């Protein structure tokens, strides 16, 4: 009986796929409790493809704090 080999993604590959930085992927993975970490548990080493799909909802396409971005949009709409 053969087991299916799942190609795990590095944080850099996941970041390229989702259009954000690897640091964002690491923070989102830690919040979502997904991924494989190094021995010390500090650095994200790999992500399963289904984990990357679940992080897509958490990761924002724009850089910066999403709360600040939403507040700036709200201000622009109310003044414009």
Domains in the chain: boundaries: 11-79
Q: What is the pLDDT of residue 8?
A: 92
Measured between alpha carbons, how far is residue 3 from residues 35, 48, 54, 63, 70 in Å? Answer: 20, 16, 24, 39, 46
What does the pLDDT read at residue 79? 67
Q: Cα(53)–Cα(31) distance, rounded to whole angstroms?
A: 15
Neighbours of 21 (CB within 10 A): 14
Dump pLDDT digits (tens) for 40-67. Answer: 888 899 999 999 988 988 886 666 677 7
Q: Quote the Cα angle for 57-72-19, to 5°.
A: 35
- pLDDT tens column, 8-51: 999 999 999 988 888 889 989 998 999 999 888 888 999 999 99
Between 69 and 33, name the one with better pLDDT: 33
């Amino acid at each position: 009986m053969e087991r299916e080999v799942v190609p795990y993604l590095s944080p850099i590959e996941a970041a390229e796929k989702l259009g954000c930085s690897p640091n964002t992927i690491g923070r989102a993975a830690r919040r979502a409790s997904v991924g494989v970490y190094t021995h010390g548990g500090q650095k994200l080493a790999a992500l399963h493809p289904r984990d990357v799909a679940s992080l897509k909802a958490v990761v924002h396409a724009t850089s910066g704090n999403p709360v600040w971005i939403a507040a700036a949009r709200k201000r622009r709409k109310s003044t414009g």
